[in-house]
A and B are shown apart, each in its own frame.
Chain A
Amino acid sequence: MIKTDILIIGAGPTGLFAVFEAGLLKLKCHLIDALPIPGGQCAEIYPKKPIYDIPGFPEVLAGDLVDNLMEQIKPFSPGFTLGDRAETLDKLEDGTFLVTTSRGVKHNAPVVVIAGGLGSFEPRKPPIPSIANFEDKGVSYIIRDPEVYRDKSVVIAGGGDSALDWSIFLSNIAKEVSLVHRRRDFRGALDSVEKVEELSKIGKINLITDAEVVDLKGDDHLDAVVIRHKGNAAEEEVKLTDHFIPLFGLSPKLGPIGDWGLEIEKNAIKVDNTYDYQTNIPGVYAIGDVNTYPGKLKLILCGFHEAAIMCQSAYQRINPDKKYVMKYTTVSGVSGFDGSKKEAKREVVKSIN
């Protein structure tokens, strides 16, 4: 069981900055995120896009903003549970919360902060009617253990980086790798595209372009995929395969958080914006793009503000008998949990004779 003061669900910019604000109040944080890396949308959707409305940064790449935030919170040694989705929220007898992830990791904290943005990023499933019947029976949307595919035949669909990279990787493991893509153009790193082209020429990847997987066949387990060429139903081929891996990127879904008994409005969590961004469950807060209130703006800078306000309330909840007096970092510096100390250089007082 992971124990912490503030459990943050979502490691995007808002969740990361909350670690800093909490750290100033000597509160420890642990973050859970469905993505394998911190940064949320900034890391997953647009790491190379410049952002122009972060106060004090005339221009910053989303990926660099995440790197900076990670550097800024380093002294407060946050814990991370990554590549795992927060599944359930339970209130314990002592008033604290238990959050369990989809892999069964348990987290315990007196305060839970949902900074989940648009939700957790989940693989996009192609609209093949029978696909749900074959999930984990030959169809997977992510590759957890490449060894599963050793000496098997695999059909990968998609035209982006992950489809290219996995086709290259599995071509050395699987018996046969076919890559099905709707167009001839692939988007992705140039060297990956060239590598696939090269492997296709020597017969290590069976490249099937201008084509789409439209149906799946099999009884208990996937036996074959139906590939349609050039969008023409008359040009369908049944291709025997052990595995089908559609790789069409990720899209965010509010997911299990929607079933936690929180008040939801327009796919977002209602909070008290007149005070502390608390939800209808006392002790559970929602900050950043995931929350809603009159006048809400889904901006990173608003998430930062909400994080700072929320931490004051969380402090009172955790330390009901203490009165916290806000201190400026310019005055008190930053004392990390790792023993580091940052502070302004003292002025030297020296008389000149």
Chain B
Amino acid sequence: MSDIKITIIDREGEAHHVEAPTDMNMNLMEVVRMHELAPEGTIGICGGMAMCASCQCYILSHEHLLPEKSYEEEDMLDQAFFVEDNSRLGCQIPIISELEGLEVKLAPEST
């Protein structure tokens, strides 16, 4: 077991302090789904291929420790709404031990 603790602020503004495993090849979008912090069907629609922006979130800490955006992620964020400078797609952020204490906020659901 190697879990890290991260804080996820849901779309209603409520902060959740949750555990995220680093040894299960998980990404941030999957952690949000695992803890059911956004209704099914409103997050991870494409399954994690960076082909929708339903897992967009704002990174509030550890930004320098995240992997660079891939072309696909850049591209998708480019099509998304409510994009800020700290926007990332949760599905492109692998859960690694360095992210202990990470804080993120889910972007609004785009309709």
List residues of chain A with CB under 8 Å of any chain B CB: 41, 45-46, 49, 118-119, 124-127, 158-160, 182-183, 185, 187, 248-249, 251-252, 254, 266-268
Contacts and interface: CB of A to CB of B under 8 A. Distances in A.
14 contacts: A46-B49, A46-B51, A49-B49, A118-B45, A124-B110, A124-B111, A127-B108, A127-B110, A158-B79, A183-B78, A187-B78, A251-B54, A251-B110, A266-B39
B37 to A, nearest CB: 13
A118 B47 CA distance: 11
Contacts of A187: 75, 78-79
Contacts of B45: 118, 251-252
Interface secondary structure of B, over-half rule: loop
Interface secondary structure of A, over-half rule: loop
Contacts of B49: 45-46, 49
Q: How extensive is the interface on chain B, given as a class?
A: 10 to 19
B42 A267 contact: yes
B60 interface: no
A118 B49 CA distance: 16
A127 B83 CA distance: 11
A339 B26 CA distance: 50
B42 to A, nearest CB: 7
Contacts of B81: 124, 126-127, 248
Given A45-B46, A45-B51, A124-B110, A119 B79 contact: no
B41 A268 contact: yes
Given A124-B81, A127-B82, A119 B41 contact: yes
A248 B53 CA distance: 11
B102 interface: no
B40 to A, nearest CB: 4
